[in-house]
Chain A
Amino acid sequence: MFDLSTRILVVDDMLTMRKLVQKACKEIGFTDFIEAADGAKAFEALTASESPVGLVLSDWNMPNCTGLDFLKRVRSDSRYADLPFILITAEAEKEQIVEAIKSGVTNYVVKPFTADMLKGKLAAAYAKVTGG
């Protein structure tokens, strides 16, 4: 499982959702978060972060730059080729998940989720990036 001191970048255009995602992560034991309200701002935050981001939790459906756009941008930068990236999708967007997988998403979680469900997804993502 990810080290609980991992810095997590939480991306969502809705403030409440950002809070909710962090709440779920806190329940798991994580403590270090940075936030962004869309994909473009998220990329800035990612590159500007002093201590490196170890995990991205991004919403799919956002104005300006969607979660998928953000994912593609992250993966096109060699520094972030292996950065664990989890997309948060609505059931309605699940059909498009194939494109996200092709674009290199590590895992995805469907809204609404519980802290337990997120924990399971994170564990699976960790196993995937560490080859365990």
Chain B
Amino acid sequence: MSDQIKVLTVGIQEETIGYVKSILKEAEFSEISDMEGFEKLLEQPPPGPFVLIFTGPGLGDAVAFTELAQSIRMSYSSSPIFFITNSREGYDRKNFIKNGFDDAFLIPLDEKTLKLKIEDILAQVENIDLDIFRPVKLVDLQADTKLGFDVSIFMPVNKKYIKYQNADDDVSQERIDKLTKHQVSSLYVPLKQMKKFYDYTASKLVDLNGKKGQISETERQERLHSAVRDIFSNVFNVGTGKDANIGEGKKIVEDCSQIVKSYIMKSEPGEWYKQIEKSISADEGDSYSHSSNVSTFAALFSIGLEVGKPEDLAVAGLFHDIGLSDVPKEILDKDPSEWTEEEKKIWQMHPEFSINAMKAKKLIVPTEVQNAILSHHERFDGTGFPKGVAGKRFKPEAQVLAIADQFDYLTRVEEGKERMTAKKALQRMAEKRMFDPELLKKAMEVMPG
């Protein structure tokens, strides 16, 4: 990164500025942290141009967020303005965006999303080198076509990207088959070349179908992620208790069904295990990507194992971990091996927190969905939580959600961790007697590898 990156912060909380600085290590920061500084912003704004402007509730009630947006926009007409807060109080992402902010982020939930958005903006700045890659799906590449962008594979254990294909060369069927054989479902494109990737997939889809409107697998997952983020911020934003509005709760549930219909229930019959392989996470991801993946996997396992209703299990997947946002950040930030007994107990309450959060927000879902969410950490041998149910008392639909949850955890490509294939993940679950052996066997039988 070069020294030309200038960043302005206005009223950003101390707790969050550290996080922003850790992402923008080499940027030059101008910071406004008190009312005196804010007044000056109106009279003598610090000289830009700023690549990014961050604001937050740090100036207190003296400045309304609409005034913040207006004061900044007047001095800097084109810089993106992000609102960042660690308080759910008054957080209403839609309203922030409606009032002129380019985006709003709730920390810690949005930490990783914020990082991605900052990187996206840096990628638009000319003359800076970025050593950042974005995952794309192998299925989006077509044999014997010129890609126009470099493609790498990622070695998670060594944390290395190795170039697999040059932008100027045609990608051969042989090379695609080789990756498929090794069950590599994601490749990595330099962030600065992602635009070329989108152009490529758009034109290839038109060539294939002769019509527009179709989206690539990479984009399907990105859109699902963004839709899940919208759902979460709506849940946090709807009033609770007496204030909760049944209409708003109903709208959120309807939105979920729409998401499930548009982005998840698109698998072709008989191909469910192929869809599963395609959906394996290419990076560590965040809460939203975990929710979207568990949702996708739960629906697909439901189809493949013929257990429960796929649509219901997909909805359960979207909400299963929403209660984690009620677990204190200190606990979430710690490595589980360092938890005290008390902290462990609190973390283990998150399935109940999820149910409580949904009830408080008047999200009315089928009983099976509630049961599955509540039981997504139960185990077939009775070692799970919160109830420690075992054997037949661990309902099959609930097991499908729990399998999906574990599956995402095990297969996700993470730095320092060896890549695990779909079949291996299922074998691991079977060895540990986590779920009904019959269910796992049925899945393993069809899974290639």
Chain A positions near chain B (C-beta within 8 angstroms): 14, 16-17, 19-20, 23-24, 90-92, 111-116
Contacts and interface: CB of A to CB of B under 8 A. Distances in A.
A91 B74 contact: no
B66 A111 contact: yes
B67 interface: yes
A111 B99 contact: yes
20 contacts: A14-B64, A17-B66, A17-B67, A17-B70, A19-B42, A20-B74, A23-B42, A23-B74, A24-B74, A90-B98, A90-B99, A91-B100, A92-B95, A111-B69, A111-B70, A112-B100, A113-B70, A114-B73, A114-B74, A114-B77
Chain B interface main SS type: helix
Nearest to B81: A112
B72 interface: yes
Contacts of B95: 92
Contact of A90 (B42, B66, B71): B66
Given A111-B66, A114-B77, A20 B71 contact: yes
Contacts of A113: 70, 73-74
A20 B66 contact: no
Interface string B400-438: 000000000000000000000000000000000000000
Nearest to A24: B74
B128 interface: no
Nearest to B78: A114
Interface string B82-120: 000000000000010011100000000000000000000
B293 to A, nearest CB: 33
B71 A92 contact: no
Interface of B: 42, 63-64, 66-67, 69-74, 77, 95, 98-100
A23 B74 CA distance: 9
A43 to B, nearest CB: 24
A116 B74 CA distance: 9
A16 B67 contact: yes
Given A114-B77, A115-B74, A14 B67 contact: yes
A52 B70 CA distance: 29
A124 to B, nearest CB: 19
Among A16, A90, A115, max chain B CB count under 10 A is at: A16
Closest 8 CB pairs of A and B: A112-B73, A112-B100, A91-B98, A112-B70, A112-B69, A114-B77, A92-B98, A16-B67
A14 B61 CA distance: 12
A90 to B, nearest CB: 5
A112 B72 contact: yes
A116 B66 CA distance: 19
A115 B300 CA distance: 54
Contact of B67 (A20, A24, A116): A20
Given A113-B70, A114-B74, A114-B77, 18 more contacts: A16-B42, A16-B71, A17-B66, A17-B67, A20-B70, A20-B71, A20-B74, A23-B74, A24-B74, A92-B95, A92-B98, A92-B99, A111-B69, A112-B66, A112-B70, A112-B74, A113-B73, A115-B74
Contacts of A92: 95, 98-99
A16 to B, nearest CB: 5
A108 to B, nearest CB: 15
A17 B100 CA distance: 15
A19 B41 CA distance: 12
Contacts of B100: 91, 111-112
A17 B70 CA distance: 8
Contacts of B66: 17, 90, 111-112
A59 B98 CA distance: 16
Given A92-B98, A111-B99, A113-B70, A20 B42 contact: yes
Contacts of A111: 66, 69-70, 99-100
B331 to A, nearest CB: 36
